[in-house]
Amino acid sequence: MTERTSGIRSVLSVPAAYELLQRALGSPNVRQEYVKQHVRPAEGDRVLDIGCGPGDILAYFPEVTYVGVDPSPAYIASATRRFSGKGMFSVAGVDDLDAKELGEFDLVIAKGVLHHIDDDQATKLFSVAAQVLAPAGRVVTLDPGFAPGQSALSRFMVGQDRGANVRSEQRYVELARACFDNVQSTVHHRLLRIPYTHVILDCAAPKPIDDMPDPVG
């Protein structure tokens, strides 16, 4: 994972500080839009959340079978305390994911993950997600990004994110299409209280595993 954690950004590794900032910026609006309009979970779905953080997104889900993984022990500890009984949480980064050990899922989500990892790790994420999907399953991601129609202030704010790999909408799509035949992208410019651009990918129809690039890790 590649991110900028010096200075004021270091505070965001503390779950309570991270959530406080997210609420101040209007992140609950982002989660609601992401879950209700894009993820669209149904009761009983099996959900894998890669990069689940402190698990806040669970508050927007119906009753599902939920597995959350994140490389931060502090985030996983917070998620386990707050959502005990609603999901299973474990410490794991993208490089630790093994499709053979994970099982099968109707939905794989990765909110705010791709811009924290390099292209090889992004390929690993999409490859694993494709392999664990049920036949009609979908992978839905959300990240800050650069896109046509973006204001100069939004471009500046996106560029200040902790994640060191914020990409263009086109580049996010290219990475996903290496593993999926069906990739739809949506750009939002006004989900937060500040000028900011989000790119959401909706991926389905995984390619045969032999046609996917070899993931690193």
Q: What is the pLDDT of residues 33-79, one digit of tens each?
A: 999 999 999 999 999 999 999 999 999 999 999 999 999 999 999 99
Q: What is the pLDDT of residues 119-168, one digit of tens each?
A: 999 999 999 999 999 999 999 999 999 999 899 999 998 988 888 899 99
Our CA angle for 180, 184, 188, nearest 5°, is 140
**Domains in the chain, ordered, with CATH?**
7-204 (3.40.50.150)
> What tokens does 203 get?
């991926």
Does this model's pTM top 0.75? My answer is yes
Q: Label residue 6 by pLDDT band (50, 70, 90).
A: very low
Residue 199 has pLDDT above 60, yes or no: yes
Nearest-angstrom CA–CA distance, 192 and 164 = 20
